[in-house]
Amino acid sequence: MNLLEILIAVPAAGFLVTLLMPRAQEQFVKLFTLGVSLLVFALSLGLVTGYESGKTGQQFVHNVVWISNPDIHWHVGIDGLSLWLIILSTFLTPIAILISWSYIKKQVKEFFAFLLLLEFGLIGVFAAWDLFLFYTFWEVVLVPMYFLIGIWGHDRRIYAAVKFFLYTMVGSVLMLAAIIYVYTLAGTFDYATILELFRSGRIALNHTQETLLFLAFFLAFAIKVPLFPLHTWLPDAHVEAPTAGSLMLASVMLKMGTYGLVRFCLPMFPIAARENAGWINVLAIIGIIYGALVAMVQPNMKKLVAYSSVSHLGFVVLGIFSFTQMGLDGAVYQMLNHGISTGALFVLVGFLYERRHSLAIKDFGGVATAAPWLAITFLITTLASIGLPMLNNFVGEFLILQGAAQAKFAWTAFAAVGVILSACYMLWMYQRVFFGPLSDDVKHHMPELNMREWACIVPLIVMMVWMGMRTQTFLPAVSETTAQILERTSPAAMVVPAAGSPAVAVALPSVEIAKGGDQNAR
């Protein structure tokens, strides 16, 4: 059992233990889950220190046969891509627990237990190197989130939870079908083996097979991302979810989609990915602009932030499908950035909600007078979200747009409009909530941040500045991994099939790709 497996096991154990606790001991349950999540976070830092840069492939690997027939492995490991996403999950879970401290009033034990279950699933998703295992964790994550929204949500929680669940299930089922099809071809669920089979050309997909499989995987991930026009579950889920649910949903769960794109869609189906990049990027750009425009007119803060997520995640998809080193690096970096800054936005909106018991922008105004520090932390987060330099989002957006510009300048030109619009909607909201005269009913409900809230928000803000300034803490590991993925999808890798393999099906379309690639390399 290596560190990574301990990391997966501890939240699961914590979940079970929490379930066994007496219902009345709410304070103890909270402290216990907080302790567990902090322990997990501390352990996860061991991944960072233990991660050896410069090594290709996964690290902290443990690969044993789980079920021998069909060939399913317990295969976990991390690389530069999953490393930081796992850290992100473990970093945000304690914060999610802290912000729920006084927010959750009913069924306290179950709530905190579900947060640990969620963490377990998330770490598992990012660590899994077996398609079946990945799918299992993918679905495990769905369960606690469904309940978080469905039990502790706001008024329309059932509608939102069901919508969330169904949307995601539609995609997952397609992915499951694709996974099983891949299994029938490869005879194993082990991702590393499958990848090697595909890469060496021992399994040659024909064009139709590859496209269909790609689309099945892509759809599952695109719903999760969510990519326009599959996004409508997100605003509903966010608005109805409790703060911790929104936080985990926006910050980490959406990243499962983009992570899947990078981890599976690109390396397994490089040709289809490149062929379909055009319209996917167009959708991403529509999403960027559309999300921003719709965010601009939202009367509800959480909905606004939710639509802004649609816009931000559009950038990530654009970066992924730009097939450039900078674009991919930026996309991965932006996943983390979005996790931090949008997470912080939800945390802060949660603070406002706890004070005023409303999410409508019109119910606020003049908060800056009553709670200046709340206003300042919100401002910093807002600025991070709209991509102000020296804060985190800027780096990601810069890399993505630069990468997209290398691929096709027009993409960048349109996507950059989103940067203008993001300033519009965030600042308008900020103005309406924090500025202006302070009305009496706001005044009496607006205490300054308390110690617990400080403890939630300060780590996030520190991370915003850190990720904005010292990108070299994070980027090298990411770059190594993305470089490998990129190499795998590069036209050159596809033209040369392995010796003696029937790779005719692969060779044909790759000629076109090679041409396109030359243009990109300009």
Partner 1 sequence: MRTLWIIPALPFVGFLINGIFGRKLSKALVSLIAVLSVVLSFAMVMKVFLEAGNLATSPVHEHYFTWIKSGGFSIGWDYAVDKLTMIMLMVVTGIGSLIHIYATGYMEHEEGYYRFFAYLNLFMFFMLNLVLAGNYLLLFVGWEGVGLCSYLLIGFYFVKDSATTAGNKAFIVNRVGDFGFSLAMFLIAITFGSLDFTKVMPAAAGKPTATLTTIALLLIVGACGKSAQFPLYVWLPDAMEGPTPVSALIHAATMVTAGVYMCTRSAPIFIHAPVAMDTIAMIGLFTAVFAATIGLTQYDIKKVFAYSTVSQLGYMFLGVGVGAFSAGVWHLMTHAFFKALLFLGAGSVIHACHGEQDMRHMGGLKKYAPWTCLVLACASLAIAGFPFTSGFFSKDAILGAAYAHAPWMYWVGVVTAGMTAFYVWRAFWMTFWGDYKGHGHPHESSWVMLGPLVVLAVLSIAGGFLFNVPEILSGMFPIKEAAENGGPGEAVLTGISVAFGLAGVGLSYLMYVVNKDIPEKITSALGGIYTLVYNKYFVDEAYDAAIVRPLIQGSESALWKIVDAGVIDGVVNGAGTQSQGLGSMLRLLQSGNIRSYATWVVIGAVVVIVAIGVGGVK
Residues forming the site for partner 1 (CB under 8 A): 163, 166-167, 229, 231-232, 290, 293-294, 296-298, 324-326, 329-330, 366, 368-369, 372, 383, 388-390, 394-395, 398-399, 401-403, 405-406, 409, 412-413, 416-417, 419-420, 423-424, 427-428, 431, 434-438, 469-472, 475-476, 479, 483
Tell me the H-state helices in 187-322.
191-200, 207-224, 233-240, 243-248, 254-260, 266-268, 270-296, 301-320
CA distance 53 to 239: 40
3-state secondary structure of 78: strand
Min dist. Cβ of residue 457 to partner 1 (A): 15
Q: Which pair of tokens denotes residue 262?
A: 């990078």
Whole-number Cα distances in Å, 450 to 99, 446, 454: 11, 11, 6
Helical segments of 297-324, H only: 301-320
Is residue 29 within 8 Å of residue 109, measured between CB atoms? yes
CB of 288 to partner 1, least distance (A): 13
Which CB, 189 or 321, lies closer to partner 1? 321
| Minimum distance from residue 366 beta carbon to partner 1 (Å) | 7
Give 288's contacts (C-beta < 8 A, 6+ positions apart).
311, 314, 315, 318, 414, 415, 417, 418
- The answer to whether the beta carbons of residues 400 and 327 sit under 8 Å apart is yes
Distance CA(346)–CA(103), nearest Å, equals 13
Q: What is the DSSP string of 227-243?
A: PTTS-THHHHHHHHS-H
Give least dist CB 522 to partner 1, A. 8
Q: Does residue 307 contact residue 359 with C-beta atoms inside 8 Å? A: no
Nearer Cβ to partner 1 (12/286):
286
Q: In terms of CB distance, is 200 or 369 closer to partner 1?
A: 369
3-state secondary structure 471-512: HHHCHHHHHHHHHHHHHHHCHHHHHCCCCCCCCHHHHHHHHH
Give min distance, CB of 410 to partner 1, in A.
11
Q: What is the DSSP letter of 264?
A: I
Closer by beta carbon to partner 1, 124 or else 330: 330
Residue nearer to partner 1 on the CB measure, 204 or 306? 306
Q: Identify the residue whose tokens are 């220190």.
A: 49
Q: Residue 76 in contact with residue 121, Cβ under 8 Å?
A: no
**Least separation in angstroms between CB 212 and partner 1:** 21
Closer Cβ to partner 1, 197 or 400, answer by number = 400
Q: Is 384 exposed, middle or buried (0-12, 13-18, 19+ CB in 10 A)?
A: buried
Place of tokens 């390399």: 521
Select 61 or 296, whichever has its Cβ closest to partner 1.
296
CB of 443 to partner 1, least distance (A): 13
3-state secondary structure 4-60: HHHHHHHHHHHHHHHHHCCCCCHHHHHHHHHHHHHHHHHHHHHHHHHCCCCCCCCEE
Q: How far is the CB of 250 from partner 1 (least distance, A)?
A: 18
Q: Would you say 17 or 417 has its CB closer to partner 1?
A: 417
Q: Minimal distance in Å, beta carbon 228 to partner 1?
A: 9
Nearer to partner 1, 366 or 497 (CB): 366
Sign of the CA dihedral 46, 52, 53, 57? negative
What is the rounded distance in angstroms from the CA atom of residue 44 to the CA atom of residue 505?
Answer: 43
CB of 234 to partner 1, least distance (A): 11
Q: Work out how close the CB of 448 gets to partner 1 at its nearest, in angstroms, rounded to a whole number.
A: 11
Distances (CA, A) of 392 to 313, 315, 379, 467, 473: 15, 14, 14, 5, 12
Q: If you ran DSSP here, which 8-state letter would residue 300 be given?
A: B
> To the nearest whole angstrom, how small is the minimum distance from the Cβ of residue 57 to partner 1?
20
Nearer to partner 1 by Cβ, of 19 and 423: the residue is 423
Amino acid identity, position 71: D
Residue closer to partner 1 (CB basis): 231 or 302:
231
CB of 167 to partner 1, least distance (A): 8
Closest to partner 1 by CB, 248 vs 367, is 367
